[in-house]
Each structure stands twice: as structure tokens, then as C-alpha cells.
Structure 1
Amino acid sequence: MPNYNPRAVEPKWQQYWETRKTFRCPDPDAPEVAGKPKIYILDMFPYPSGAGLHVGHPEGYTATDILARFRRMRGYHVMHPIGWDAFGLPAEQYAIKNNVHPRITTQANITNFRRQIKSLGFSYDWDREVDTTDPEYVKWTQWIFLELYDTWYDHAAKKGRSISELPIPAEVASQGEAAVAKYRDSKRLAFQANNPVNWCPGLGTVLANEEVIDGKSEVGGFPVERRPLRQWILRITEYAERLLDDLEPLDWSESIKTMQKNWIGKSIGAEVEFRISGRDACVMVFTTRPDTLYGATYMVLSPEHPLLEGITTPEQKAAVTAYQEAASRKSDFERTEMAKTKTGVFTGAFAVNPVNGKDIPIWIADYVLAGYGTGAIMAVPGHDERDFEFAKQFGLPIQVVVTPTPEWLKKTKSTTDDLKVAYCEEGVACNSGPLDGLPTAEAKEKIIADLQAKGLGTRKVNYKLRDWLFSRQRYWGEPFPILHEVDAEGNRTGVIEPLTAADLPLRLPELEDFKPTGSPEGPLVKAQDWVKVTRNGKTYQRETNTMPQWAGSCWYYLRYLDPKNPNAFCDPAKVKHWLPVDLYVGGAEHAVLHLLYSRFWHKVLFDRGHVPCPEPFHRLVNQGLILGETEWTGFARTQTTEAAARNFVDVTGDEWLSAKDVSFDGSSATTKGKNPAALSLVKLPEDQVEKQGESFVLKAKPDIRVDARAFKMSKSRGNVVNPDTVVNQYGADSLRLYEMFMGPLEAMKPWNMRGVEGVYRFLSRVWRLIIDDTAETPTLHPSVQDVPPDAETLKLLHKAIKKVTEDTEGLRFNTGIAAMMEFTNHLTAKVEVRPLSTLKTFVLLLAPYAPHVAEEFWEVLGNSNTLAYEPWPVYDESLVREDEIELPVQINGKVKAKLLVPADADAATLEKMALADPKVLEQLAGKPVRKVIAKPRQMVSIVI
């Protein structure tokens, strides 16, 4: 094997690591880890689909693996595990489509994923592998659910407590045990309720709000409608404030924190009581702008509001009922985001505005949702866009109560008597009695104080976050560890009997027909022998819904710590040693769903004394998306005016057209006098494109500009790259290096196979530095000798150590690789006799990045053991200290010269040197200097 051949090197070392369990993570009490600092490095574990991995998946895994290997070499006790998120809708949909049991397809997918991941040389401790569908894992998922069921939230103590500690009001206790049980059930974190939910007929199940995107299911893209169903719900809203507050100290990106904050949606305002005219009833309304109460000219209730039955007049009954039925067939997205025209129906009832005593009409409209706030709004059309549109649609009065600014009136062509749009900004109150002249903030405080004094309202904090719908009407999920008592006729009595820990795991029944029933019962209802249970002389039914996929993924990071423990989800000593997770790497698409749910479960476990810290993940890093290969298309939309010069390709006639032959409306192009259909962009082979100046052009016709764009990898676009293909052609080390060399970890990057070839050539150069390419087997190159390095090589080596160390620590892997490439170029070009010690040090730097070939080098360099635990090189500060550095000199913002200056030069010295430099003087040409800004070790900027 004279040349670098990863197909021979990589399987050899993968077998070595597996046989010797090189990356086994000892438990905290093991003698070999005494005194070592711990680090828990975690990947968001994969969902093993039938398609297998594509090259975008290993990006985050490669980053964490480099850091894990680096930390082991620096003497850390490293936890770096892997597992499988294997329940859920995608696996079940695939199984139904292919008529194969989901357990069979899931295990086959896991086997393929495991093979692919092992082929990339990741240093996971495979003894800690978990699978969320494993009955021993399901057991503890069910146990955590029972903890949620046994917990209520104590707002005074700001923590969850056992339901046995819930104070029972005397009036409830006096009514007997049934009333006490009902009261406890009303406070549990896991409870049942008959609520409007997101029903997806295409999937035959209920979805959480977070699983609905643009009115369609996240899985499959099926339409979703609202339907009242009895469901298991988790009271995540009780933890809303803590989920917000505890974000601040976390080392997460601001964008992810903002996404969670926006989803929780905290708003501060007032809850106001509107009395129903002529009736002994009232409507409660939450508003963030109580200062606009004088402008409330009507009210709107959601079509599901419970008061509608009692307040709708006989004349309006039919219209209201028809409208309610129509609204029930729409998703929240269709009701609030997609509606082009506001719809609604007058109920015939009126409410009294509490601040001025005026009667205002009560309408129902589907843009008001039952699940947000109180399901009712005071409509202030002068200062809310939706209310303004509704008032215009139905001819309702619009009252200005916040004075618009003159600039706004001019821009919108409005007057205070004729608004063209709603004025939604803050300002000064008007037409508001005692509030007149007060700025918005003061007006809010005064009106809230007045309402509280009169008993008509109170200060209120509201959240957009809804409680978590936790039932799925599907087969492939964790069964609920719950029994429902039934009477002699088989009807549920409402009494719930939770299973005990000794009863767990409750396994899924084996079903040949696991297709959804299309009804709220779910497929498990088909297993009647499993559903019906007799215990202590009573008859019960098991829950026929299953838990959502998120249940298993909420806590997997805990099971890794003690995966074989039959008596607890994790030994307390191990939890205390490892938590919190020090680094969590995964996609930003999980910012709301998984991260929010996992934080909630963790906080409950913290409150109940099972984990030692309130947050699970200290640091979070989101790797950027890897896009498919760049696609070159036939024209560039550089401007949107028809007069702009551009070229199009007519795909029907396969000819290039100039701008004079094309009409362009700013969004699409059509041919003049030909087929009026919009022109399509044509994908071009990359070898037909070349760069000319700042643009790309067609080689055959350089006057024709082309555009480049990369898309997310997907089977539908046909741009998915299988890592097996890359590994077979270039090796796992080349794939790892390229994915890290493409750019910053967090950045979005397009894939390019030529880039893989480039890093493969780099590894081949390193191979030729160390390995004798004339030998039949890997043998040390004759030029490698046990001699000290020359001064230049020694200095460059220590600069490389410093750079690679700091960049690996900071997850700046692309610049760390660049430093190793630069040092390799030096050794290749300038060093004829290659010092053995220098090459050993360099191989240790390379090892976390390209571990297979580094192990091969290490062996050839005379070592018999793995380098996985070799000490990381340490640089000599005196050798990396710079005496002189090069600084750019800008003149009016453009670099015009470069100075070689002392590294410790201060600003005054830099300014003096810059103004004396011949190139700078030539550029100045006697023009007066207005300003000089000198930044030590950075730059000099001159303004003339």
C-alpha cells in the first residue's frame, strides 16, 4: 500500500477501537478517573429513518467528536454517547405504507444508521447506546409520566410537589373522597381535559401546536382542523415563568433564546370584566393595552366560548350555530394567518364598557382563539389592525383614543376622524376621560389602578404558551401507564388508577393491523384482551392513546449516564457527577419543540429531587445546514425593472433570449409574442460556467450572466449525498475534515465534492511526509530522523499548536485545519530531513480531526498503543511571541499599504510610522489629513 488508501486504514482502526473498547467511559467511582475534570458532550440523537444518513447529518457529530477526542487528550473524563429516537409518526407512516411492523423497520433502520455512524470513526461509548423503543427505556419514560401525574405546582414555593402534599380546601374535604380526588386531578401536571385540539385526519391523530406548521402537520404536510376531544395534557404553562427566567444564564445563542421567549410569549396587561347587559353574567378579557379601553366599541368572543350558549339571542341562534360549525373545520393558522377577509356574526347581545358605561355589541369571529387569553377580546379598531379590518368589514364604529403623530398621519394619508389603517403605536391618550394627556405607560398604570379600586379588573400576566397536548391516536408510541375504571356497562367512571413502578414497563400489544382507526380511540382499541384489565375485583380499561415521540427524547441524556440500571432511571451519584450537559450540539429546528419540552421535564425532575440542577443543557451550539451541490441557472435577477439588462433561456425552444424579448413583472418572466407561460430557470453543468469579475457567466457566451443557488438536501430535489459514497471514494477522515473545513460550524454551507477531494489531497501530502511510498506496507519514510527541528520549523510548530488548541477549544475547526495545512506546506517545501519529534507532535494535533490516519501514522512512528489518550501538545509561549506583525493601512476605507511594525507598538507609534511610509505618502499626494485612527495589533485608518 504505497499510497494513502483509507479503505485499508480506516476499517483496521475501527476494529481496533471496537475490540478494545477504546472509548469506554468509566463510571465516576472508577480509580482511573480520580481527579479528572468531567465534560459531558452530547449530540441530538438521530431519528433512524429508512433513507439513512446524508452528509448533512454527520456535521454536528463530527464537531462533538473532535472536541471529545481533544478533551480526552487533555486529561478530561469524557462522556460522549449515542442512541436512537425511534418512536413516532415517521416510522409508523413508513411501516403502514410498506405493510411491515414498525418494530421491524425501526430496528433495520437503527442497524443501518449504526453501521454508517461507525464507519465515520466517531468515538462514542457504544456500551451506553439507548433506544427509546427498548422496553427497559420505555419503563422509565412511563415512570417519569407517573411523576408528572403525581405532581402539582405550588406557586407560593415556585416548585412542583407531590400531589399528596396538596392542601385540600375545607369545603372540598367536607364533600368526601370523590370530591377530594376530583380536586387533586384538577391540579395535576398530567391531566385529562376535553379541549379543542389539532386533529389531523390524514394522520389519524392529535398534534401539539408546535407540530402544526402553516395549518398542516409537520409530518406529511396533511391539513389540520380543530376538534374538541378528550386528551392527556401536560401543564407546561405552570413552568412558563421559570422557563423564561432560567434562559438568561445559559450559554445559548440569542436567536435560540429569542425563539423560546417568543413561543412562551409573556405579556403584561390587565384582565378586565365586561358585564353582559341585562344578564347576570360577565366576560373576562385580557389586554396588553388597557389604556385604550375608552376606544373599545365592540367585543369579540371565540366561536368556542362557553358563554355563547347563554347570551345569543333567539334571532341570531341559527347564524351563530352555523358559524361555529364552519370555524370548527379550520385550523388556528387558517383562522389567524390565512384569512384574507374577516368574518363574524353578531350574537344579539351587548356588554357594558366598564370605563364609560356604554353598551357595545358582542360578536363572534374565528380570528379570536379559545386557547389564548380568555377566548374573548375588547375590540379597539382604532389601534389594532385585525379589529380595524373587522370594523370596516361590518361598519362598526372606530374611536381614536391615542393621538397619532403628524408624521404617521401624513404617511398613511389619515386624519384623526378618518383613519386609513389602525394606529398601533404608543403615544398620548385622548378621548379617554381622566387619561387624556397621559403617555401610554402612565395611562396603563392609572387605568389598572382605577379598575382594581372598583373591582372591575386586575393586573395580569399572560402567556402565549399553551399546555402540551400529550395524546396520540397512533400505535407506535409509549403506552400510558394508566387504568380507567369502568362500570358494569363498560362506561368509564372518571376514576383513574395509575400503575405502580413494579407494573412497568407496560408493553405495546402485538398488532397485525396497526393502522389508525381515524377516531380518538386509536389502534390499541383493537387489542381488547390487552385493553380490558381486572384488578382487585374491579374492571378497568387501559388508555388506548399513546405518548408522542417527544416523550422519549425529553430525557435520553439522563439514561446515557446509567443505561443498564434496572432499579432507577439513573443512579443519583452519576447524575450529580455528570450534570448539566456541558455542550449540546444539534439543529436549530429543535429550538422550540424538543428543547422546551426537555427543559420542562427536567424542571419537574429537579423539583421532585431526582436531578441536581434546574437546567439540563448549559451550552448549546446549533450547526449550520449543509445544502446540496450548487445549482447554476440561466439568469440572475439582479434588478426588478424590465429595462434592466438580463438574459433568459427559453426552455421550450432551448435558445437564449435577450431582455427585449422578455417581459418581467418583478417576480416571473414571460416571452413576448410567444408562449405566455412563465420561463423556467435551467440548471447548468458547473463546467459550463466560469467567473468573470464579480459575476458568473456562461463559458460559451460570456455576455450571458448566470446565477448560483444551493438548496436544502432532499430526496425530492435529488441532491442528497450519501456519506457511504464519500467514504468509499475518499475515506471517513476526508469527509470529517471537509465538513469542518467548509466554514464556521454555525454557518449554512453548500456541499461540493471537489472540496472533499481537496482535503483528501491534503491527507495524501501528510501521508507522503511520514510514509515511504516505495514500500509495500506502511513504513517510515527514510527522511524521518530523530534530529531536532531547525529554528523556523520549531517556531512554526509551536504557532500551529497554539492555533489548533485555541481553535479546537473555540469550535473554530475550519481555521484549525487551515493552520495544520499551512504547517504541512512548510514541511513539504522546506524540510528535507523531517524531525521525528515534530511529526509526532503534528500527528497528535491531527488526531481529533482525522483519527484513522493519525492512528496509522502513530503506529508507523514507533508507538504500540492508541494515541487517543496521549497528552495534548503544549506550546512554548516564548516561541509563539511575535516580534513584528503586519498591519493594513486604510485610506478613506480602502487598504492602500501594509506596515511591518513592532508587535507591541502603541497607537502613537503606529500613526507616526504610517504617515512616514512611502506608499502612504504617495497616496496622500499632499492632501490634508483629517483624521488618523490607529488600533494596535489591528490596523491604521487615515481619512483625507
Structure 2
Amino acid sequence: DTLFGATYMVLAPEHELVDKITTVDNKGNVAAYKQKAALKSDLDRTDLAKEKTGEFTGAYAINPVNGEKIPIWVADYVLMGYGTGAIMAVPSNDMRDFEFATEFNLPIKPILEPDQADEKTRTRVVKGEECWEEDGVFINSSSSFSGLDINGLRKQEGISKTIAWLEEKGLGKEMVNYKMRDWLFSRQRYWGEPLPVIHWEDGEIEVMDEEALPLELPQLDNYTPGDNGESPLANAGDWLHVTDARGRKGRRETNTMPQWAGSCWYYLRFTDARNDKEPFSQEAERYWMPVDQYIGGAEHAVLHLLYSRFWHKVLFDLGIVSTDEPFSRLFNQGMILAFAYESATGAKVSTDLVREKYGKFYHSQTGEELKQIVAKMSKSLKNVINPDDVVKNYGADSLRLYEMFMGPLEATKPWTEQGVKGVFGFLVRAYRFFADLNNIHQDEEDPEITKSLHKTIKKVQQDIEGLRFNTAISQMMIFTNNCIKKGRVNQQTAKTFARVLSPFAPHLAEEIWSIHGEAPTIADQPFPEYNEEYLKEDVFEYPVSFNGKLRFKLELPLSMPDEEVRQEVLNHEAAAKWLNGGEPKKIIVVKGRIINVVI
């Protein structure tokens, strides 16, 4: 379905086609790149925070849906062990492809309009300025060359139609690819669920009867490994050795289960955590499942999400749970990076060996100028940010607020101390104003403040539901500045804003709540509701066009009758220029939208 958005191809450096298709002019660069890639591990190559690298082979492929030539690159973020080692890159809908295309100035062709996203996101995606990996409506996805048209369809419909077209033309067929690997499920340590398995002296290995479960860990005095590197359970003599009813001697399995044994189904236990008779009741499971929203980092989700889904599907096949999938919606949060430094050869330099001078960075021992980059936090680079230090210097609320204010939740972004200072300054201003009773009155609130408050409540509520915490905080900053400019607000406004602020900065909001005489805690208060009546605009700034071209803007009351609006347009000093002494044929007024003068 994304063929229309494919703007380049990528081969893994090890792919057999690389040497065959690389042009003479590009062979040297590609060979050098292959040599560098061979020195990296698969983990390094697929690191989400890694700077994208690659080389153009000089060759092109033909896109079957539109007949266009698209360049073929070689890049190490594609692995031979995954799929075929060759991908079509769709930068508008895949973040790694988007980053690669941005790095090498390759085309980004939007093919999915995010019709459920906010207007700002939708506009950026349609312009090719932002990657969109969720569902949407297909755009720019038709071609007279092929006759294929999936414009207006949603993702699943587009997939079905495109596959049918490819099969009809003999260009491809529907296929499900599986990537299977063994799952090592035993650990040589004490702390873990013991495996209910007994090794008998006659060679038989037996799983314990269900009636004998649960098998609990024994109390130990010695937690050191057993002989031959076995788990500490090898030291549990009375627990370790067993005899059956026939006098046959046996030895319990000393390996324990990994943490996955619990974390793969913890969400099910949450549905009925106090049940001491079974893991969870069927009634509780049917009421709560599936999980509405799963949030996790992309790297974490590959493991935990994969394993928990595997676990859940086994339980579903056994009839123990009522849903085939455990999670309704997945959201991958971005990674917080930190500044790091590297030499001209690409060698990383730890931050304690870096000196800044006149905006440039140098190696303190060699004097070599270094390049500042952003990278994952690591002990070796000494660029790890300790949250305890941030809390000590700026408070826990500042730490929380800055993490939410850094940018979109899904974006990868670098940590900066200056940013922490910025949100700390906002919290200081908010506290000094709303906690100072000299700024508080008991009279009726100013209409402008009332309107701004209800706009803030609505915006923050919608942004919380959409996981757009950074824009919610921006709106709270705007409201606080409005109040400070006004000079005073009434007490109800101050308390209401404290409730809006509470999910983001609970300690400071609690303090403001208490200063205004409220008890016991703001945490028990519901989020405030907004009143649509206060959100209605009294005036609107109309764009005034002449024959469809914008010429000037005019602010008028929304209640003004259309005939008076037309007269105001004609009376405007700029109108005479565009009328050029003539009379308009028609003045079209679309209330609260636009005015168009036909001449």
C-alpha cells in the first residue's frame, strides 16, 4: 500500500546485489562503506539514536505502480538477517526512512493524511515535514501509468487493493513473514519462579502435578552459586532432594524462570490483584481487558510487547482470556538523548575530557577540535543525567515538567540544562502569582481571564487525551502570563488553575491549593470542566480576498449582519486600490470564515 510513497531503495551492505549493481563511479565509496559496516554489530547498526549513514550505488529501480526511477542506496540500518536484506524506503511513513531521507536530502512523498490528528500535525505530515506511522486516508496514491488508485482509502483497504493489483499483474503475491528465534527461559539465580520439574534417578524428567503447585522458593542461608556454576538453589538440600511414593530418588530443577514469567502477564493480574484463589476471575478479565493504551520505548516494546503478546495468545487459545490481543493501542515514546562529542575519525570522547571555548569544543589533552553530537546516555561517555541532581537543583516538578515539555512524546530529543531552567522559571512565576494572596480578589472574574481559563481547561484536557503534553504546558504558560499581565484574579480562578496544573506539577499545585484554604489534597479533585459559552468568539479577523486573492484582513464582530460587513469592506482604505474606481459584482460573506469580493 505504501509503494506510491517509496522514493528510494536500500540494500544491506552484505547483500549480493550490491557489488553487481554499483556503478564504476561509486564502487570506491561503496566498498569503503561496506568495510566500515562490517566492523559494527547488529545492535549498533539498528540503534534508534544512531546517526544515519549510507552510500548511493549509482543504480536505480523502477517503481511498478508509477514507472518512476528511484535510487538504490546501501545503508547499515538494513540487516541481511531481517527479511531479504532489501527494503523499499517510504520516508513519509517510517521514522528510520524519514531520518535517512532527511540526512541525505532524498524526496519525502506524503501518502497518508492523518485525518484524526490535530491540525498542526496534519499540516506538517501533508507537507512532508513530519513522519506519520499510524492509520490515515491515502493521498498522492494514484497513477495513470498503472491504473491503480487507492486515494481516499484507509490503510487496510489500501493494502488489500494494492496486493490484488500486484497479484493480477504478476508482480507479487500476499505473504506473511515470520522471524522466529529460540527463547531462553531459564536463569541460574535464586530470585525467580522455580521451575516445577523433577529429574529422577532413572533418567525420567517429570513436570509436577498441578495439585502440588505452587512450588515456592526455599529459605536459604547461602546465596552463592552451587557446584559447577549452578543456581544457588543447588545449596537447598532438603528442598532440592525428593523421594516419590515408590522410593525413587529425584532432584529438583535448580534453574529459575526469568523476569518475563511475571512481566508477561502482570496486566492480567492487575485486573484482580486481591484474588487469592486464582490469578484473576473471568468476570474481572472480561470487564477490564483489553488494555486501552500501552506506552513504552521502541526498544523495550520489541521485547516485552512481543513476549506478552505471545503469552496472551497462548492463554487465549486455552480459553483462559477473552481477547485475542492484550493491548488496543500502542504508543512508542521517544528516547531522551544527551550531548556527546567525537573526533574527526568518529571516535567518541567522554565529556570530562571536553573543554568549551568560544562556542567550540576541544579535547582537553590533545587540543583537537571536536564535533558535538547527540547520542544515547552512557557511562563510558559520562553524559548520563542523574535525575537526583535535577531534583536537588530544581525540584521534582521541574524534572517532570521538562520531560513533558521537551517536545512531542514520540520524538527523540536531547536533554539540555537550559530547558530545565526554562520550566523552572515558569513554575516560579506561577507560584509567586497564584500563591500570593495580594494577587487574589473575591469579586467577579474579568471576562478576558474567564475566557482564557476555559480555553486552557479545554486545551489541556484534549492534549492530555492526545498525549500532547508539551502543547498543554505551553497553554498553561500562556494563561499564567495573561493573569500576570492582568495583575489580579479571583480565588476561584486560582484554585481552578491549580487543578489544571496538578497532573503536571503535583507538589506545587498542592501547595497553592493549601494556601487557598483547601484540604485535604488536590489529588482527590476532579479535573475541571470547561464551559463552551465562554469559548465563543465575539470578533473574528476575516481574510478579505479580491477574486480569490488575499488582499487584507479585517476584524469585525461575529454578530454583525452581512450587509454591514459588506459596507465595512467597501469602507476599508485598502479596498479602493483593488476596486480601482469600479463597483464589485458581488461580495460573498462566509460568517466566521472568509470574505471574497468578486470584481
- Partners of 2:557 and 2:382 lie apart in 1 by 55
Aligned counterpart, 2:423: 759
Q: Secondary structure at the match of 1:854?
A: helix
Q: Spell out the pairing of 1:136-215 with structure 2 (5 A cutoff).
A: 214=41
- Structure 1 residues 536 and 515: CA distance shift in structure 2, 3 A: closer
1:880, CA displacement in angstroms? 0.9
- Structure 1 distance, partners of 2:302, 2:544, is 46
| Distance in 1, Cα, partners of 2:292 & 2:543 | 39
- 1:834 corresponds to: 489
The answer (yes or no) to whether the contact 2:350–2:381 under 8 Å persists in 1 is: no
- 1:591 paired with 2:591, answer no
Partner Cα distance (2:187, 2:525) in 1: 53
- Where do residues 315-330 of structure 1 align in structure 2 (5 Å cutoff)? none
**3-state SS of paired residue (1:469):** coil
Asked whether the 8 Å contact 1:473–1:516 carries over to 2, the reply is no
Q: Matches of 1:587 and 1:935 in 2, distance apart?
A: 46
Say whether the 8 Å CA contact 1:599–1:615 is kept in structure 2. Answer: yes
Instruction: Give 1:544 shift.
Output: 3.8
2:379, 2:350 → 1: CA distance? 20
Q: CA deviation at 1:840?
A: 1.5
Distance 1:681 1:598, change over 3 A: closer
The 3 A distance-change label for structure 1 pair 922 and 764 is farther
Counting only pairs closer than 5 Å after superposition, residues 573-612 of structure 1 correspond to structure 2 as 573-612=283-322
Match of 1:794 in 2: 450
Match for residue 482 of structure 1 among 187, 192, 197? 197
Q: Which residue of 2 aligns with 1:514?
A: 225
Kept in 2, the 8 Å contact 1:517–1:523? The answer is no
Change (3 A) 1:801 1:217: closer
Q: Does 2:400 correspond to 1:736?
A: yes
- Name the structure 1 match of 2:206: 496
Alignment of 1:379-398 (within 5 A): none
CA distance in 2, matches of 1:689, 1:935: 53
Question: Counterparts of 1:512 and 1:217 in 2: how far apart (Å)?
Answer: 35
Q: Is the 8 A contact 1:559 1:570 kept in 2?
A: yes
1:819 is matched with which residue: 471, 475, 500? 475
| 1:221-262 deviations in Å (ceiling 9; x for gaps) | 9xxxxxxxxxxxxxxxxxxxxxxxxxxxxxxxxx9xxxxxxx
Q: Say which of 308, 325, 331 aligns to 1:615.
A: 325
Give the 5 Å matches for 1:69-88.
Answer: none
Going from structure 1 to structure 2, the CA distance change for 1:483 and 1:443 (only over 3 Å counts) comes to: farther
Distance 1:755 1:558, change over 3 A: same
CA contact under 8 A between 2:188 and 2:255: conserved in structure 1?
yes
1:626 aligned residue: 336
Tell me the C-alpha RMSD between the 2 structures. Answer: 5.1
1:804 pairs with 454, 457, 460, which one? 460
Q: Deviations along 1:394-445, whole A, 9 cap, x unmatched?
A: xxxxxxxxxxxxxxxxxxxxxxxxxxxxxxxxxxxxxxxxxxxxx9947989
Q: 1:460 to 1:835 in 2, by over 3 A?
A: closer
On the 8 A contact 2:341/2:349 being kept in 1, the answer is: no
**2:459 is equivalent to residue 749 of structure 1:** no
2:502 equivalent to 1:847: yes
Distance of aligned partners of 1:788 and 1:632 in 2 relative to their CA distance in 1, 3 Å threshold: farther
Q: Distance in 1 between matches of 2:479 and 2:509?
A: 16
Query: In structure 2, do the counterparts of structure 1 residues 921 and 539 end up closer, same or farther at CA, with 3 Å as the change threshold?
Result: farther
Among candidates 711, 717, 726, match of residue 390 of structure 2: 726
Q: Distance in 1 between matches of 2:465 and 2:409?
A: 13
Relative to structure 1, is the Cα distance of residues 939 and 761 closer, same or farther in structure 2, using a 3 angstrom cutoff?
farther
Q: Distance in 1 between matches of 2:555 and 2:201?
A: 87
Partner Cα separation in structure 1 for residue 183 and residue 341 of structure 2: 45
Label 1:920 to 1:865 Cα distance change in 2 as closer, same or farther (>3 A).
farther
Aligned counterpart, 2:244? 535
Residue type of the alignment partner of 1:514: P
1:770 is matched with which residue?
434
Answer yes or no: is the 8 Å Cα contact 2:226–2:233 preserved in 1: no
Deviation at 1:216, TM superposition (A): 7.8
Task: Return the index of the structure with the highest Cα Rg.
Answer: 1
The 2-side partners of 1:585 and 1:688 are apart by 42
Question: Is the 1:475–1:516 Cα contact (8 Å) retained in structure 2?
Answer: no
Q: What amino acid is the match of 2:359?
A: V
Contact preservation (8 Å) 2:457, 2:500: yes
SS of residue in 2 equivalent to 1:591:
helix
Measure how far apart 1:514 and its partner are: 2.0
CA 1:460–1:617 in structure 2 vs 1: closer, same or farther (change >3 Å)? closer
- Amino acid aligned to 2:518: N
Q: Partners of 1:217 and 1:754 in 2: how far apart? A: 30
Residue pair 2:337, 2:415 contacting (<8 A) in 1 also? yes
Q: 2:271 maps to which residue?
A: 561
The TM-score with structure 1 as length reference comes to: 0.39
Name 1:63's counterpart in structure 2.
none
SS in 2 for 1:862: coil
| Residue number among 347, 354, 359 corresponding to 1:689 in the alignment | 359
Other-structure match for 2:257: 547
Aligned-residue offset at 1:561? 3.5
| Contact persistence 1:904–1:936 (CA under 8 A) | no
1:182-331 → structure 2 map (5 Å cutoff):
214=41
Matched, 1:713 2:422: no
The alpha carbon displacement at 1:464 in A equals: 2.6
Q: Give how far 1:529 is off.
A: 5.6
Structure 2 match to 1:259: none
How far apart, in 2, do the equivalents of 1:815 and 1:621 lie? 18
**Identity across the alignment (%):** 42
Partner amino acid, structure 1, of 2:195:
F
> How far apart in 2 are the matches of 1:531 and 1:587?
40
Partner residue in 2 for 1:70? none
> What is the one-letter code of the residue matched to 2:194?
P
- Quote how far apart the aligned CAs of 1:571 are: 3.5
Q: Distance in 2 between matches of 1:588 and 1:820?
A: 30
**2-side partners of 1:606 and 1:679: how far apart?**
48
1:869 corresponding residue in structure 2:
524
Q: Distance in 2 between matches of 1:729 and 1:541?
A: 56
Instruction: Quote the Cα distance in structure 2 between the aligned partners of 1:853 and 1:834.
Output: 18
Q: Which runs of 5+ in 2 are unaligned?
A: 1-39, 49-77, 87-164, 363-368, 581-588
TM superposition shift of 1:689: 2.5
Distance 1:919 1:608, change over 3 A: farther
**AA matched with 1:866:** T
Q: What do residues 713-737 of structure 1 show as CA deviations (whole Å, max 9, x unaligned)?
A: 1111111111111111111111111
Q: Is the 8 A contact 1:479 1:506 kept in 2?
A: yes
Aligned residues: 426
Match of 1:483, SS state, is strand
Q: Counterpart of 1:465 in structure 2: which amino acid? A: K
Give the C-alpha shift of residue 850 in structure 1: 0.9
Give the structure-2-normalised TM-score: 0.58
Partner Cα separation in structure 1 for residue 509 and residue 448 of structure 2: 24
* Contact 1:473/1:523 (<8 A) preserved: no
User: How far apart in 1 are the matches of 2:512 and 2:85?
Assistant: 68
Describe how 1:449-468 pairs up with structure 2 within 5 A: 463-466=177-180, 468=182
Q: Is the 8 A contact 2:341 2:348 kept in 1?
A: no
Letter in 2 for 1:842: F
Q: Is the partner of 1:710 in helix, strand or coil?
A: strand
Q: Which of the numbers 459, 472, 482 marks the counterpart of 2:186?
A: 472
2 CA distance for matches of 1:803 and 1:758? 21
Letter in 2 for 1:536: A
| 8 Å CA contact 2:218, 2:236 repeated in 1 | no
SS in 1 for 2:375: coil
